């Protein structure tokens, strides 16, 4: 997966995802931004919820189960000190429909333990390399 992020002004950045969707990220005015877009951390929590939600719906459909409604409430707690990473992420799943509880639990467990690539990315060491103006950096960060 590759795409480009462009700096607009102040703290605002924009880009287009490989699937063709535009997005804007920005900081709050008190942090030097213009509040023209979502914060990166907000997008990260949304990505976790979206990833696990898509997994769960897919798994339930494979079980031939169809929820009539599905909602997730997600809460992220962040460290006080920099890098202010997420220390806990809690997701409350709410379903409506004729769904056996053991099947719903199994779908949630499969997403959590095996399929949700976003959540698993948060739990792993990620190697970061860089280039400046086309020249690859000499070390991984």
Strand (E) positions, 4-85? Answer: 5-9, 12-16, 22-25, 69-78
Query: What does the block give as tokens for 105?
Result: 């639990």
CA pair distance 56, 124, nearest whole angstrom: 22
What is the reported pLDDT for 133? 59
Q: Locate tokens 């690859």: which residue?
A: 136
Confidence at residue 126, expressed as pLDDT on a 0 to 100 scale: 56
Model pLDDT, residue 107: 93
Residue 50 near residue 25, CB atoms below 8 Å: no
Output b/e per residue, 7-20; b: 16+ Cβ within 10 A: eeeebbbbeeeeee
pTM reported for the whole predicted model: 0.83
What pLDDT sits at residue 123?
Answer: 74
Calculate the average pLDDT of the chain.
Answer: 89
Give the bridge partners for 96, in sequence order.
69
Give the HSE-up count for residue 111: Cα atoms under 13 Å, Cβ half-sphere.
23
Tell me which of 74-78, 85-89, 105-109, 123-127 is least confident.
123-127
Contact 95, 66 (CB under 8 A): no
Rounded alpha-carbon distances, angstroms, from residue 29 to 38, 76, 111: 12, 22, 37
- Residue 125 tokens read as 């060491």
pLDDT one-digit tens code per residue, 17-66? 999 999 999 999 999 999 999 999 999 999 999 999 999 999 999 999 99
Instruction: Report whether 115 contacts 109 (CB < 8 A).
Output: no
Contacts of residues 130-135 at CB distance under 8 Å and 24 or more positions apart, as own/partner, are: none
Q: What is the pLDDT of residues 103-118, one digit of tens each?
A: 999 999 999 889 999 9
């Amino acid at each position: 997966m590759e795409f480009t992020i462009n700096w607009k002004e102040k703290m605002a950045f924009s880009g287009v995802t490989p699937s063709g969707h535009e997005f804007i990220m920005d900081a709050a005015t008190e942090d030097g931004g213009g509040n023209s877009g979502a914060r990166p951390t907000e997008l990260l929590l949304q990505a976790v919820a979206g990833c696990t939600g898509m997994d769960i719906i897919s798994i339930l459909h494979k079980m031939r189960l169809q929820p009539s409604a599905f909602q997730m409430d997600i809460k992220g707690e962040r460290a006080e000190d920099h890098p202010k990473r997420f220390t806990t992420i809690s997701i409350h799943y709410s379903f409506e429909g004729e769904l056996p509880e053991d099947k719903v639990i199994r779908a949630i467990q499969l997403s959590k333990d095996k399929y949700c690539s976003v959540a698993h990315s948060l739990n792993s060491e990620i190697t970061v390399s860089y280039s400046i103006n086309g020249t690859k950096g000499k070390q991984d960060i």
